Structure 1
Amino acid sequence: MERPPNLAAAIDAAAEALVDVLDTAASRHRLSVSPTQLRVLSLICARSETNVNRLAELLDVVPSSASRLCDRLEATGLLRRAADPRDRREVRLLPTAAGEEVLRELTERRHRAVQAVLDRMPVRAQSELLLGLLAFEQAAVLQAGEQQKDATVRTA
């Protein structure tokens, strides 16, 4: 297969199709949880030691904005705040059982939506897509690490 003249634009367009499939699966969810709130919930579930300041760093927002996001999630019963057992001055953010269930349901919906599209593709193309996405993920992780290192050097 010949390389398109603007590979980045072609990949961007194809990735947009994947994002549309994922977004459609999320928008059909029974709860009215915004994409940002779902991202917050997902970050908190993936990082058990998260507090509001760490969440703000992960989202690249000010702590007061992160706190307001948590307030809304707490009001809907998807998140709770708890004192850190090692340092009672620290408040950890924890998903509730309902929050974990929302993410579990969303993940299942997204997997089914992606599988429905994959079922329309030849098996070889599915394998090539997976290999390409895994390589892209590795390169993105390396780039993010380099950018983090560069940012640390500039602030030192």
Structure 2
Amino acid sequence: MTDLTALFTDLVRLETRLYNVLDARLKAEHALPLGQFEFLRFIAAHGTTRVYDLAREMAITVGATSKAVDRLEAAGRVRRTANPSDRRSSLVELTPAGADILAAATPTVEAELHTWVGSVLPATALDQLATSLSTLRQRAELDPRTDRSETRT
């Protein structure tokens, strides 16, 4: 029987260490924190998004997300525009500078992930891990107790 508490500990410690390694390398090579990279990646995948949608994806509060978007906007990496469908929200999209930094940083992230994950596990184990984590994430996202975006500031 798998010790779920030990599994949880391993998962959290691995995530923390990977996050720290990726964050340090992105800052050193691109002056881009990993959190901002994740935001840019989500925005690029969706074209345009609301702050609320970013908050739900990142599992953080709308207030924290808004402040992060403020920093990206100040750096010239995203632009906010009025949401024609809802005056209470704005839409966020990448600027050319945001697209450029994302394109430059993506190979750096992929290289680190290959070093720490892709080169360690055989392809079948990696596929199984990806499927399992996706299943667990989907389950967590269905549970309202895990939705921090509802905490409005």
Match of 1:139, as an amino acid? L
Q: Residue deviations 1:23-45, cap 9 Å, x none?
A: 343232322x4444334333333
Cα contact 2:78–2:93 (8 A) shared by 1: yes
Cα contact 1:80–1:95 (8 A) shared by 2: yes
- 1:76, distance to aligned residue in structure 2 (A): 1.5
Q: Residue deviations 1:47-71, cap 9 Å, x none?
A: 3342345445553133xx5444333
Cα contact 1:21–1:114 (8 A) shared by 2: no
Quick one: distance in 1 between partners of 2:29 and 2:11?
28
TM-score, normalising length from structure 1? 0.66
CA RMSD, Structure 1 to Structure 2 (Å): 3.5
Note if 1:133 corresponds to 2:130. Answer: yes
Query: Could you list the runs of 5+ residues in structure 2 that have no partner in the other structure?
Result: 148-153
Bigger RCO of structures 1 and 2 (CA < 8 A, at least 6 apart): 2
- 1:105, distance to aligned residue in structure 2 (A): 2.2
Q: Residue deviations 1:92-116, cap 9 Å, x none?
A: 2111111122222222101112223
1:112 is aligned to: 111
Quick one: distance in 1 between partners of 2:118 and 2:42?
30
Query: Could you list the runs of 5+ residues in structure 1 that have no partner in the other structure?
Result: 152-156
2:100 is aligned to: 101
Q: How does 1:79-90 map to 2 (within 5 A)?
A: 79-84=78-83, 87=85, 89=87
Cα contact 2:77–2:96 (8 A) shared by 1: yes
Q: Residue deviations 1:1-29, cap 9 Å, x none?
A: x9568332233334444334433432323
Indicate the percent of aligned positions where both proteins have the same amino acid.
22
Distance 1:15 1:93, change over 3 A: closer
Distance 1:8 1:100, change over 3 A: same
